[in-house]
Amino acid sequence: MKSSIDNPARQAVSRRAVLSAGLLAPLAATPSLATGLRTPKPSLASLAQAKGLWFGSAVGAGPKGSLTGSLDDPLYCEILARECGLIVPENELKWYVVRAEGPQAFDFGPADRIAAFAKAHGQAMRGHTLLWHHPQWFPDWLKSYGFGAQPAEAAARLVTGHIQALCARYPQMISWDVVNETVDPQDGSIRRTVLSDAMGQDAVLDLAFQVARQAAPKARLAYNDYMSWEAGNEKHRYGVLKLLEGFRKRGTPVDALGVQSHIGAENADTFTGFGRPQEKEWRAFLDEVTGMGYDLLITEFDVHDKGLPYDFAARDAAVAAYGQAYLDLMLSYGQTKEVLAWGMVDKYSWLQNQWLRQDGKPKRPTLYDDAYRPKALRTAIAQALVAAPKRQRSTPSKQ
């Protein structure tokens, strides 16, 4: 199926085009008796479930009032409860949060709060992440950790104990990002860390998945990364394919590729305000991934609007059209099982303090605006879910 993004002359998405596609049509909404908050019906979770998919979002249990403090916002939580069947802790299971104080200390408090919220609202959970294999995101103590006279064994014990502890604490996870962002986008190589220095690159990654399979046998195990469909990601995509091929050759128990899906602003041009999608190359990439037997998970979806005009209506329309084109492509693959937004309300998006707009204004990369009103992107996601082929909600395959 040809997309409107194939023709450069049509890449600039006009508000008129979006209006004609119905993306800004009035939304059926049900107000909350308690707050007056209006959310569209049917929910995104129910639309996804009808097609055998999961829909959900990240939520943060960070400091109240901060970008990562959405769990303390009652209106955000109301949107989360109504729209999402699946939630993921934004940062609370990362090593630098859960093990910030040292190798013997675990702080499960923030993640436990999110788990309690999910249980109270009948929501499933997914885990992010057991091993963010990137030296920048290790806790300080790990960056200089001494592994002693037998470094491989010591590193293996550390990784094994960490993964076992998290999986035992949260056995309800339907999927886990076991390893996150180990491919260097600059050249496609595997990142070097103190763990890979101690054990070897393949060994530490394989161990993470092997331990996760034993500790969470019912969860879908994913490698998660931010390679994208836009130009400039060629080496990153190649590196991820090589990594996935290696997993298969070695019999590493990996079920899925987590496609983060932070789309929009990478290498953006002045004509569209977005990066240039490479639909043919992206489909070829996904074909190779699924051809190796991997499922696909959309794990961190948002649309970066850094290069778009200030006008809210025009900006939201362009974001919606770009996001729907991407989701239509991704959901055309029956192997796609989950769709996770990386936040539901603009003011809690991680993008607010990353790659700032030239006009210094806040970004609008998510489904709801700062007044908790649904935006065109929310409608676009709903339409993509409605148009998606039906599939069966399945348990992960055991490779």
pLDDT value of residue 10: 33
Query: DSSP alpha helices (H): ranges in the chain?
Result: 15-20, 44-50, 74-83, 95-98, 109-120, 140-143, 151-169, 194-199, 201-215, 234-250, 279-291, 312-331, 376-387
Q: Low-confidence residues of the chain, pLDDT below 50?
A: 1-27, 30-33, 397-399
Whether 398 is in a domain gets the answer no
Q: How far is CA 314 from CA 91, 264, 301, 332, 375, in A?
A: 32, 15, 20, 27, 12
Residue 283: CB atoms within 10 Å: 14
Q: Is residue 392 part of a domain?
A: no
Q: What is the mean pLDDT of the chain?
A: 91
The rounded distance, in Å, linking the Cα atoms of 135 and 220 is 25
Q: At what angle do helices 234-250 and 201-215 cross, to 10 degrees?
A: 60
**Does residue 152 fall inside a structural domain?**
yes
What pLDDT does residue 79 have? 98
Write out the residue range of the structural domain in which residue 244 sits.
4-387
Residue 119 falls inside a structural domain:
yes
What is the reported pTM? 0.91
Residue 363: CATH number of its domain? 3.20.20.80
- What local confidence, expressed as pLDDT, does residue 16 receive? 32
Q: Is residue 224 part of a domain?
A: yes
Question: Contact at 8 Å (CB) between 246 and 284?
Answer: no
Contact 355, 17 (CB under 8 A): no
Residue 394 lies in a domain: no
CA 373 from centroid of its chain's CA atoms:
22
Give CA–CA dist 17/106, Å, rounded: 51
Write down the pLDDT at residue 265: 72
pLDDT tens for each residue of 27-70: 455 444 455 688 899 999 999 999 999 999 999 999 999 999 99
Residue 27 in tokens: 């939304």
pLDDT tens sequence across 230-260: 999 999 999 999 999 999 999 999 999 999 9
Residue 393 belongs to a domain:
no
- How many structural domains comprise the chain? 1
Cα atoms in the Cβ-side hemisphere of radius 13 Å centred on 16: 2
Residue 396 included in any domain? no
